[in-house]
Amino acid sequence: MCSIACTSSSTLVFNDGSSKQSRNSGASLFHYNGLKSVETTLLGSASLDVKGFITTSAARCGKIKAVASPKRETDAKKRIVITGMGLVSVFGSDIDAYYNKLLDGVSGITPIDRFDASEYSVRFGGQIRDFSSKGYIDGKNDRRLDDCWRYCLVAGKRALDDAGLGKQVIDTMDKTRMGVLVGSAMGGFTAFSNGVEALVEKGHKKISPFFIPYSISNMGSALLAIDTGLMGPNYSIATACATSNHCFIAAANHIRRGDAEVMVAGGADAAVIPIGIGGFIACRALSQRNDEPHKASRPWDRNRDGFVMGEGAGVLTNERFQIMESLEHAMKRGAKVYAEFLGGAATCDAHHMTDPRPDGLGVSSCIVKSLQDAGVAPEEVNYVNAHATSTPAGDLAEFNAIKKVFKNTSELKMNGTKSMIGHGLGAAGGLEAIATIKAINTGWLHPTINQYDLEPIVTIDTVPNVKKQHEVNVAISNSFGFGGHNSVVVFAPFAP
């Protein structure tokens, strides 16, 4: 898919108050000798005279300004910034193309043609088509790998490239201080399914030697590390649809503890396959709107009837905004800073395997804990990227939780990315974190499509059907999984 021009702008601020626009997809810290000193930034005990900052500015929306909070992290060694993003989605693997499709309200939900679904009661999903791993995975491995790991490798390497951390740069760094934490809800689902079929139809001697390694859910992190040489913290988390957010939180904690300087984190899944669709049909979780697939995912609409299966991968590169040496390195390589990761939290509903707590208590406590971890007051938050799966029970449980935490919602916006791309399971939080960060960068929120008959109790602006301009101050992104796993992460515009 071809690249689309950046949708955000940047501003160089001079000490005389003048400014100069610079096109960039994120904020960048770099040394520019032609500028006079703008300000002095204190990083821990060191004082650093910074010659020029490029601060993220929302297109056509004025400069983004995060509300200062005395509770936020001030230790530069513990501040986490997002410097790279990579994805594989139903809209392709280009970040700007992905977000522009979302802004345009395009549905990626179509009839399934990857396999014969004619006898299934659900025959549609967010199926990825025309995926190419060229330049990221060699041909032999590409033919062997489960799609889940193909998506993971491409998204992870694209995130590193986006951060300016290609192979040549990585080879000059301490790889023991760079880690990978990419999870999956289902793991190598196709590899597992093929192994079972071989056992049943032909006996155990016909099982592929790759059956076990390509099935287990930790293999995404392992393969990405093997390909890139990153030797820092490496494991995976599997908490169903909360997976990506849990990976972001754990990765940030590794950086804050000093275990790593850089973490590549996110999630991947590829469940648009016979056993995946059939299994969720058996759970009675999927929408059955076969006659109008593009209208099937409709969060908060009174006629919603279940979620839509999606797939893909979403990965972020997280770095420490550290002392002078690290900042100088970032300045030399022109590192972009898309946003700051302020914090996150995880809780459990302790209620049911698949149904959420109707009172939303587990979710509301998770939101509260995430804000506490981030050092953010509820009134500072003005954007929620909701889990919003389009299930009858889940959407209202999440809304009730949000209302419990945010008393005044007049300035609050929330939207549902899944209305357009479906539910990516373990990849969902990664894909939605990228949408959240792009909202911060561009000043535009994508719509929640298929909003025809909103639930009367839903009084928060869901950005129905058409994008809205909105200057994001602090954003949260929610992800919840079967088993009652709750996760919330907090992002904000980066301010040096």
Q: Summarize the confidence of residues 468-482 as an average pLDDT.
A: 98
pLDDT of residue 68: 45
CA 453 – CA 440 distance, rounded (Å) = 28
| Pair type for strands 80-88 and 339-348 | antiparallel
Q: Is the pLDDT of residue 93 over 70?
A: yes
Topology alike, domains 80-336 and 342-492: yes
Q: Mean pLDDT score of the chain, rounded to an integer?
A: 85
Cβ atoms of 124 and 290 closer than 8 Å: yes
Q: Is the pLDDT of residue 120 over 60?
A: yes
State residue 301 phi and psi, 5-degree precision.
-80, 140
CA 239 – CA 292 distance, rounded (Å) = 31
Angle in degrees, 0-180, between the axes of helices 219-228 and 147-162, rounded to the nearest 10: 50
Handedness of CA 363, 451, 303, 100 (dihedral sign): negative
Domain boundaries, given as residue ranges, for the chain: 9-77, 80-336, 342-492
CA 348 – CA 355 distance, rounded (Å) = 12
Q: Is residue 168 very low, low, confident or very high in pLDDT (cuts 50, 70, 90)?
A: very high
Higher per-residue pLDDT: 324 or 71? 71
Q: Is the pLDDT of residue 102 over 70?
A: yes
Share of the chain above pLDDT 90, in %: 76
pLDDT of residue 423: 98
Q: What is the CATH number of domain 342-492?
A: 3.40.47.10
Q: Is residue 464 very low, low, confident or very high in pLDDT (cuts 50, 70, 90)?
A: very high
Q: Summarize the confidence of residues 395-423 as an average pLDDT.
A: 96
Q: What is the CATH number of domain 80-336?
A: 3.40.47.10
Closest CA to 308 of 287, 278, 283, 330: 287
Identify the bridge partners of residue 46 per DSSP, sorted by sequence position: 43
pLDDT of residue 79: 85
Q: Each residue of 322-341: pLDDT tens digit?
A: 432 333 344 455 678 899 99
- The pTM of the full predicted model, rounded to 2 decimals, is 0.85
pLDDT of residue 58: 55
pLDDT of residue 18: 40
Higher per-residue pLDDT: 385 or 358? 385
pLDDT of residue 20: 38
CA 311 – CA 148 distance, rounded (Å) = 8
Positions marked catalytic: 241, 387, 423
pLDDT of residue 42: 26
CA 224 – CA 218 distance, rounded (Å) = 11
Torsion of CA 277, 278, 279, 285, to 10 degrees: 70
Q: The tokens of 434 are what?
A: 């990228």
CA 222 – CA 191 distance, rounded (Å) = 16
Identify the bridge partners of residue 329 per DSSP, sorted by sequence position: none
| Pair type for strands 444-445 and 178-183 | unpaired
Q: How many residues does the chain have?
A: 496
Q: Summarize the confidence of residues 141-168 as an average pLDDT.
A: 95
Q: Is residue 1 very low, low, confident or very high in pLDDT (cuts 50, 70, 90)?
A: very low
Q: Summarize the confidence of residues 193-210 as an average pLDDT.
A: 96
Closest CA to 283 of 483, 420, 485, 109: 483
pLDDT of residue 354: 93
Q: How far apart are the first and last CA of the chain?
A: 34
pLDDT of residue 234: 98
Q: Is residue 57 very low, low, confident or very high in pLDDT (cuts 50, 70, 90)?
A: very low
pLDDT of residue 333: 57
Identify the H or E element spanning 157.
helix 147-162
State residue 311 phi and psi, 5-degree precision.
-165, 170
Higher per-residue pLDDT: 60 or 285? 285
Torsion of CA 190, 195, 201, 207, to 10 degrees: 140
Q: Is residue 97 very low, low, confident or very high in pLDDT (cuts 50, 70, 90)?
A: very high
Residue in this structure with the two tokens 């804000």, named with its chain if needed:
371
Closest CA to 10 of 112, 220, 24: 24
